[in-house]
Structure 1
Amino acid sequence: MLEDLSPLIAATTHWLTGAYPASGGALDAALCEVQARQAVTVAAWLRYPTSMDAALVGMAGPGGSARLDWIAGADGAGAGDPDTYAWRTWVDEVVASWAACLLTDPELAGRAVAAIAEGAHTAGVPVEFRRLTAPDDRDRSAAALLRHPDLLAPVAGLHHAALVTHLDQGSALAA
Structure 2
Amino acid sequence: MQADLSPVIAATAQWLTRSFPSPGGALASALCEAQARQAVTVAAWLRYPTAMDAALLELAGPGGSARLDWVTGADADDGVAADAWRTWVDEVVASWAACLLTDPELASRAVAALARGGEHADGLPTEFRRLLDPDEADRGAAALLRHPDLLAPVAGLHHCGLLDRLDPDHTLIA
Shorter chain as denominator, the TM-score bin is over 0.9
Q: How much does 1:108 deviate?
A: 0.2
1:65/1:88 contact within 8 Å kept:
yes
Counterpart residue number, 1:109: 107
- Alpha-carbon distance in structure 2 between the residues aligned to 1:33 and 1:109: 17
Letter in 2 for 1:156: A
Q: How much does 1:79 deviate?
A: 5.4
Percent identity, aligned pairs only?
Answer: 73
- Alpha-carbon distance in structure 1 between the residues aligned to 2:169 and 2:13: 25
Using structure 1 for the length normalisation, give the TM-score: 0.92
Is 1:140 equivalent to 2:139 in the alignment?
Answer: yes
Counterpart residue number, 2:61: 61
Q: How much does 1:80 deviate?
A: 6.8
Is 1:150 equivalent to 2:149 in the alignment?
Answer: yes
2:74/2:80 contact within 8 Å kept:
no
Classify the secondary structure of the residue corresponding to 2:157: helix
Q: How much does 1:113 deviate?
A: 0.4
Counterpart residue number, 1:45: 45
Consecutive aligned runs of 4 or more in structure 1 exceeding 2 Å deviation:
77-81
Letter in 2 for 1:28: A
Using structure 2 for the length normalisation, give the TM-score: 0.92
Counterpart residue number, 1:128: 127
- Alpha-carbon distance in structure 1 between the residues aligned to 2:2 and 2:66: 23
Is 1:30 equivalent to 2:13 in the alignment?
Answer: no
Structure 1 gaps, min length 5? none
Cα distance per residue 1:77-107 (max 9 Å; x no partner): 53574xx1x1111000000000000000000
Structure 2 gaps, min length 5? none
- Alpha-carbon distance in structure 1 between the residues aligned to 2:25 and 2:143: 13
- Alpha-carbon distance in structure 1 between the residues aligned to 2:112 and 2:35: 17
- Alpha-carbon distance in structure 2 between the residues aligned to 1:170 and 1:110: 19
Classify the secondary structure of the residue corresponding to 1:89: helix
* Coordinate RMSD, CA, aligned: 1.6
1:2–1:79 Cα change, 3 Å: farther
Classify the secondary structure of the residue corresponding to 2:88: coil
Matched length: 168
Letter in 2 for 1:3: A
1:141–1:170 Cα change, 3 Å: farther
1:168–1:61 Cα change, 3 Å: same
- Alpha-carbon distance in structure 2 between the residues aligned to 1:156 and 1:114: 20
